[in-house]
Amino acid sequence: MNIKDAALYSGLPAKTIRYYDEIGLISPPRDDNGYRTFEKTELHQLVFVAHARALGFTIEDCRALLMLYKDDQRASADVKRIANEHLKHIETKISDLETMRDTLSHLINECHGDQRPDCPILDNFRGRD
Amino acid sequence: MNIKDAALYSGLPAKTIRYYDEIGLISPPRDDNGYRTFEKTELHQLVFVAHARALGFTIEDCRALLMLYKDDQRASADVKRIANEHLKHIETKISDLETMRDTLSHLINECHGDQRPDCPILDNFRGRD
DNA sequence: CTTGACCTTCCAGTTACTGGATGCTTTAGT
DNA sequence: ACTAAAGCATCCAGTAACTGGAAGGTCAAG
């Protein structure tokens, strides 16, 4: 199977798959013509990475997870640790964004939003002297 | 006032201020020796940008907001529109992250996290054949 | 035999900085 | 006056994870 079909199968753009190859995340074998070939093993890895990326794991996380995925002797504790660290990152990001959201929506509510130049949003950004 | 004190005043690193100058977001005048000089006007703008960035506005948003900030004739509606668009982005990000968090914490709960190789997290990433 | 769809690589751009090298200027201390 | 340290400047490169585009090789269909 060539890259286009691998892209269709995995849901990843072909460009992204080439990029993953370039950084050594996956290493599909090449045909005599230089084309990358994708069979079951490669397709599974692509789907795996696609899933992990969809959950927000970084490429380096994916690299580590992929190692564990390929290792039949892995301990599930290793996977759980990586996942837990990532979960903490996600939770931090969520609460940061919630703070932003609350502040911003408060400011928006205060703002008339009409033709007048008076604007509490800008006033707030200005800070006090 | 030189860049170091402007950095202290605004809370932005000096490097970042130079970067903002480079991209034309701010344009502090220069002394005879080539040093950037910061007075009230420039300091206000720096604080303004720092606040907006802290709320997650992009640099281009900041550029637009800074124009409006400097324009005494602005309509508050313009500011409100930009702020509302940004609020939507934030809300989308939050709900994406919440979905990630829920899926991931579910998987983590299912995982033994011991020495055994069996791991529901990896199983899930693998997808079904 | 040509057209068009695929494939390849390489280069540049994205966002918003950050770190480091090199060198000039100013300031403080002796 | 001399020197050392601090502060300023510019420029180059790197970060994360792609994405777009150009130039050129390959392959299948008509």
* Residue A123 confidence class, pLDDT cut points 50, 70, 90: confident
pLDDT (0 to 100) of residue B107: 92
pLDDT (0 to 100) of residue B129: 58
Task: Please give chain B's pLDDT, 129 residues, in tens.
Answer: 999 999 999 999 999 999 999 999 999 999 999 999 999 999 999 999 999 999 999 999 999 999 999 998 888 999 999 999 999 999 999 999 999 999 999 999 999 989 988 899 888 888 765
pLDDT (0 to 100) of residue A126: 80
Taking the C-alpha atoms of residue B51 and residue B57, their distance in angstroms, rounded to an integer, is 9
CA–C1' span, A54 to C16, in Å? 23
On chain C, which bases lie within 7 A of the protein's CB atoms?
6-9, 15-19, 25-26
- Its pTM stands at 0.88
Taking the C-alpha atoms of residue A67 and residue A89, their distance in angstroms, rounded to an integer, is 22
CA–C1' span, B7 to C10, in Å? 40
A13 Cβ nearer than 7 Å to chain D strand: yes
Q: What is the pLDDT of residues B91-125, one digit of tens each?
A: 999 999 999 999 999 999 999 989 988 899 888 88
Chain A residue with minimum CA distance to B54: A100
> Does the pLDDT at position A5 exceed 70?
yes
pLDDT (0 to 100) of residue A128: 63
Question: Nearest CB to B80: which of A65, A79, A111?
Answer: A111
Q: How many pairs of residues across A and B have Cβ atoms under 8 Å apart? A: 160
* Residue A83 confidence class, pLDDT cut points 50, 70, 90: very high
Helix, coil or strand: residue A71: coil
Taking the C-alpha atoms of residue B51 and residue B117, their distance in angstroms, rounded to an integer, is 48
Residues 6+ apart with CB under 8 A from B57: B65, B82, B86
Q: What CATH number should be reported for the domain whose range is A1-74? A: 1.10.1660.10
What is the distance between the terminal CA atoms of chain B, rounded to a whole angstrom? 66
Domain ranges of chain A: 1-74, 76-129
- DSSP string for residues in A8-63: HHH---HHHHHHHHHTTS----B-TTS-B---HHHHHHHHHHHHHHHTT--HHHHH
Q: What is the pLDDT of residues A30-80, one digit of tens each?
A: 999 999 999 999 999 999 999 999 999 999 999 999 999 998 889 899 999
Q: What CATH number should be reported for the domain whose range is B1-57? A: 1.10.1660.10
Q: Are B53 and A94 in contact (CB under 8 A)?
A: no
Write the CA distances from A64 to A69, A70, B101, B126, integer angstroms: 9, 10, 20, 15
Which one, of B32, B33, B38, lies nearest residue B17 by Cα?
B38
Contacts of B127 in chain A (CB under 8 A): 44, 47-48, 51
Rounded to the nearest angstrom, the gap between the alpha carbon of residue A15 and the centroid of all alpha carbons in its chain is 16
pLDDT (0 to 100) of residue A129: 58
Mutate which of B121, B123, B124 to test chain A, going by most A C-beta atoms within 10 A? B121
A15 Cβ nearer than 7 Å to chain D strand: yes
Instruction: Produce one character per residue of B9-34: b if its CB has 16 or more CB atoms within 10 Å, e if not.
Output: ebebebebbeebbeeebbebeeeeee
Cβ contact B116–A75 (<8 Å):
yes
Cβ contact B91–A79 (<8 Å):
no
Higher pLDDT, A26 or B123: A26
Identity of the amino acid at A113: G
Residues with CB under 7 A from strand C: A 2-5, 14, 18, 34-36; B 13, 15-16, 19, 32-34, 53, 58-60
Cβ contact A97–B69 (<8 Å):
no
Q: Are A76 and A39 in contact (CB under 8 A)?
A: no
